[in-house]
Amino acid sequence: MTSRSVAVIVGSLRKESFSLKLAKSLAALAPTLTFDVVTLNGLSFYNQDLEATPPADWVAFRDRVRKADAVLFVTPEYNRSVPGVLKNAIDVGSRPYGQSVFDGKPGGVISNSPGALGGFGANHHLRQSLTFLNIAILQQPEAYVGGIGDAFGADGGLVKESLRDFLKQYLSAFEGWVDRIAK
């Protein structure tokens, strides 16, 4: 397999975000993939009026995603849906019309929550947009990570063995998927 690069887009701005910790933990679990953890702090709100001279943060975000072989979304659930910052990033990456940085890429979704349902609602609302954007989303295994509150130690490292095992399996399937789809 060719070594593939993955833009990991994190759906939370919080400093101590579980989603961010999860995203950062992936590199050690799939050493043959290269991960670029993309946080959305400072990404301007999408406004079509600005496309004539797009903000530098849009340009930087678009470039980072465009150059990756694949996109992996790691997100919490807000009110049974996608956090606004993540939806905004999808909107930014999808435009200008006809120049979406997501088009045709392989992708995956890992939702998470301290609660039991693992962000199921966010995961599926997100899939609606990703399907429209022609991202080829890995269907199985699905990744709804519940009970994430005890998954990380004081230094932010992953300490929950069951989650480590699950993420390794998920990434193994994801790597195979990326290799099949990526150009």
Ligand X SMILES: Cc1cc2nc3c(=O)[nH]c(=O)nc-3n(C[C@H](O)[C@H](O)[C@H](O)COP(=O)(O)O)c2cc1C
**Residues at the site binding ligand X, with contacts judged by CB under 6 A:** 12, 14, 17-19, 76-80, 113-115, 117, 119
Please identify, using beta-carbon distances, which residue of 93 and 119 lies nearer to ligand X: 119
- Least Cβ distance, residue 3 to ligand X (angstroms): 28
- Least Cβ distance, residue 166 to ligand X (angstroms): 17
**Whole-number Å distance between alpha carbons of 69 and 10:** 17
Please identify, using beta-carbon distances, which residue of 14 and 67 lies nearer to ligand X: 14
Phi, psi of 136, deg, nearest 5: -85, 100
Shortest Cβ contact with ligand X: which residue? Answer: 76
- Least Cβ distance, residue 140 to ligand X (angstroms): 22
- Yes or no: say if 21 and 167 are a contact pair by the CB < 8 Å rule: no
- With 0-12 / 13-18 / 19 or more C-beta atoms within 10 angstroms meaning exposed / middle / buried, residue 117 is middle
Please identify, using beta-carbon distances, which residue of 77 and 175 lies nearer to ligand X: 77
**Whole-number Å distance between alpha carbons of 112 and 143:** 8
Alpha helices in the chain (DSSP H): 18-29, 56-67, 84-94, 120-132, 161-181
- Least Cβ distance, residue 118 to ligand X (angstroms): 8
Name which of 44, 18, 3, 41 is nearest 110 in CA terms: 18
**Whole-number Å distance between alpha carbons of 20 and 14:** 8
Please identify, using beta-carbon distances, which residue of 17 and 100 lies nearer to ligand X: 17
Please identify, using beta-carbon distances, which residue of 18 and 102 lies nearer to ligand X: 18
Q: Is the peptide bond before 114 cis (omega within 30 degrees of 0)?
A: no
- Least Cβ distance, residue 58 to ligand X (angstroms): 23
Please identify, using beta-carbon distances, which residue of 19 and 100 lies nearer to ligand X: 19
- Least Cβ distance, residue 26 to ligand X (angstroms): 14
